Amino acid sequence: MKNNEHIENGAGCTCCAQEHGHSHAGGDKKHLTRIITGTAIFAIAIILSRLFGVSEYVSLAVFAVSYLTLGGDVIITALKNIVRGRVFDENFLMGVATIGAFIIGEYPEGVAVMLFYQVGMFFQERAVQKSKKSIADLMDIRPDYANLQTEAGLVSVHPDTVNVGDIIVVKAGERIPLDGVVIEGEAHIDTSALTGESAPRRASFSDTVLSGSVNQNGLLTIEVARTYGESTGSKILGLVESAAEKKAPTEKFITKFAKYYTPVVVALAALIAVVPPLAAGGIWADWIYRGLVFLVISCPCALVISIPLSFFAGIGAASRNGILIKGGNYLEALSALEVVVFDKTGTLTKGVLKVTSAIPAEGFTQKGLMEAAALAEVFSNHPIALSIIREYNGEAGNIRLSGYREIAGAGVSVIANGKSILAGNVKLMSGAGICVPEQHVGGTQVYVAIDGAYAGCIVISDEIKEDSKNAISALKSKGVKKTVMLTGDNEKTAASVASALDIDEVYSGLLPQEKVEKVENLSSQKKKSGKLAFVGDGINDAPVLAISDVGVAMGGLGSDAAIEAADVVLMTDEPSKLVKAVDIARYTKRIIKQNLVFILGVKGIFLLLGALGIATMWTAVFADVGVAVLAVLNSMRVMSIH
């Protein structure tokens, strides 16, 4: 939903600022001026009719002027909507009720209803605008300009005119307009609008910086890596703005409910006004009045405004916390999670291999083992080789290397200062006739042999993220019945990680298509009302993300694949963000339930009172506009989540 859009439901009940012509600050002033003017004329009409006893025609004329001043736009909108085929909306109900009051001679009440309706709408619209403004301020990451470096110097241009490879300059306090790489300067970067993290990040030469971030200090010269439309900030804005288009089941129900509910209550109001006096010979004016009161009370505007607004506010609150939710349907699904399936690498673990232990054989030292392994792997770019070299962090010195050879699927061999070194898996050792002891440790094992003798084993593991365990524990405490981990790693490594994190089920050695099969099987086992979420890196797990009830991409900051593949994008690498997303979803759902019970309860009571002739037009206004304002204010509480 764009920031200047109004909220409208499929049944034609439009309670928006634009329909009344006062969606912006200037419109608010016009609306307030009309209310004040109409109220003044209304007061004059009462004084003339009550104190001076003017004729019926003069009294009617002055009341009519005040009525048209206050409600002329409502009547015009109702007529326009009728022409468009949208008859049963709030404007129609208010128009019929107040004009009906004039017909039966209740001029003051007809004007009063329109007056209080407009006052209520004014405060309701201000509340809605405040909510939208909060989200607009939150997502105010769209840059106004870019300082493009040209031969003539810096030129301020619109970001969408800048091309990949161009050089831009971002000064202290300015927002970074496009994704790029720092080629000169250093500064602290505020990425809170993207990630929800308040701590600034240091950016210097060769670092990637993203649009929407703010340069807090220093001067940065940046080579543009993506055009404006492809930059992170622009994509995030597009996601948030279009999120309201994907309606949650509750929203769809309310829209469908209003579509049938409104004509039914109009028919009931007509029956109340006509049947009793025809059947029992009652006073027509009395029963028509009851029917008109029934009409005012019956308007479903409170429902069709507050429910979508709650979802919109929930999506905004999530965005503020670095969580992008692509629609109300996914927000509602998050509130009903029963099974959460995690990919391992890059999701629960850091995705960076690290030497966790070096176990030398008898007669060898740990330093000698690491040196031999580092020399063997020195020419390799494999992640395992790089982790060994990084851990050793020594100098080769005058060591002469020769005979380097990679054995596919097994390891490497090299000759260093005349000594033959083998480094690889059990297959490599067996092929060389070297017996190795079994290691009961989790992780990838690299065995090393020197001159045909077993020298030891180096264990390499992917580090578990600091908050993974807390995230799993928190999800279980919130009612998630099953946590599952899927990975392509070997059984020992997978079991070690699952045990450390207290994950319920683990499946290892899986290919991408096998992950899809596992998720489909897990989904078939859950309750119909329960939802399954798959959490992955959004790059290699696109098929699984697509078939899950909720696909969650972890660490989507700057990742095109993550942003496009998932339903929910956690903009940092923290699994705990999923817990926050569930909290926001459940709080939003709780607010929606409160509104439903409150609105339907109050309206039910007042509809009964109206039919019995106890409720008046004055109380009817509270049952309509007052309830709507209270429901909207309650919906705005979602924005307070931190």
Average pLDDT estimate for 552-567: 72
Contact 56, 63 (CB under 8 A): no
Pairing state between β 167-170 and 146-150: antiparallel
pLDDT at position 136 is 57
pLDDT at position 20 is 38
C-alpha 482/C-alpha 531 separation (Å) is 11
Q: Which residue has the higher pLDDT, 626 or 204?
A: 204
Instruction: Return the CA Rg of the chain.
Output: 34
pLDDT at position 328 is 86
Which of 4-13, 253-262, 271-280 has the largest mean confidence?
271-280
Q: Inform me whether the pLDDT recorded for 559 exceeds 70.
A: no
- pLDDT band, residue 4 (cuts 50/70/90): very low
Angle between helices 249-280 and 284-298 (to 10 degrees): 180
Look at 20-24, 163-167, 333-337 and tell me which has the smallest mean pLDDT.
20-24
Residue 587 φ/ψ, nearest 5 degrees: -65, -40
Cβ partners under 8 Å of residue 179, min gap 6? 208, 209, 210, 211, 224, 225, 226, 230, 231, 232, 558
Q: Inform me whether the pLDDT recorded for 592 exceeds 90.
A: yes
Average pLDDT estimate for 267-272: 88
Cβ partners under 8 Å of residue 242, min gap 6? 1, 326
Q: Inform me whether the pLDDT recorded for 65 exceeds 90.
A: yes
Pairing state between β 453-464 and 349-360: antiparallel
Q: Which residue has the higher pLDDT, 512 or 111?
A: 111
C-alpha 553/C-alpha 201 separation (Å) is 22
pLDDT at position 414 is 92
Residue 77 sits at the vertex; the CA angle it makes with 71 and 81, to the nearest 5 degrees, is 145
Is 179 designated active site?
no
Q: Which residue has the higher pLDDT, 24 or 34?
A: 34
Q: Inform me whether the pLDDT recorded for 24 exceeds 60.
A: no
**Quick count: other Cβ atoms within 10 Å of Cβ 368?**
16
pLDDT at position 13 is 47
- pLDDT band, residue 619 (cuts 50/70/90): confident
pTM: 0.74
Average pLDDT estimate for 14-24: 41
pLDDT at position 5 is 38
pLDDT at position 30 is 84
The catalytically annotated residue of 166, 343, 537, 573 is: 343
- pLDDT band, residue 306 (cuts 50/70/90): confident
% of residues, the chain, pLDDT over 70: 88
pLDDT at position 297 is 85
pLDDT at position 633 is 86
Q: Report all structural domains of the chain as residue ranges with CATH numbers, in order of start.
A: 146-240 (2.70.150.10), 351-463 (3.40.1110.10)
pLDDT at position 370 is 92
Look at 27-41, 132-146, 409-423 and tell me which has the smallest mean pLDDT.
132-146
pLDDT at position 106 is 82
pLDDT at position 110 is 84
Average pLDDT estimate for 495-523: 88
- pLDDT band, residue 198 (cuts 50/70/90): low
**pLDDT, tens digit, 9 for 90 and up, residues 426-483:** 889 998 999 988 777 767 789 999 999 999 999 988 888 889 999 999 999 999 999 9
- pLDDT band, residue 625 (cuts 50/70/90): confident
Q: Inform me whether the pLDDT recorded for 560 exceeds 80.
A: no
**pLDDT, tens digit, 9 for 90 and up, residues 395-418:** 555 567 888 888 877 889 999 888
Q: Inform me whether the pLDDT recorded for 423 exceeds 60.
A: yes
Mean pLDDT of the chain: 83
Residue matched to tokens 């493009």:
148
Q: Inform me whether the pLDDT recorded for 242 exceeds 70.
A: no
Angle between helices 56-83 and 25-50 (to 10 degrees): 150
Query: How many angstroms separate the Cα of 402 from the Cα of each of 357, 405, 415, 422?
Result: 28, 9, 5, 13
Average pLDDT estimate for 330-336: 92
CA of residue 576 relative to chain centroid, distance: 15
pLDDT at position 492 is 79
* Amino acid (1-letter code) at residue 187: A
% of residues, the chain, pLDDT over 90: 31
Q: Inform me whether the pLDDT recorded for 567 exceeds 50.
A: yes
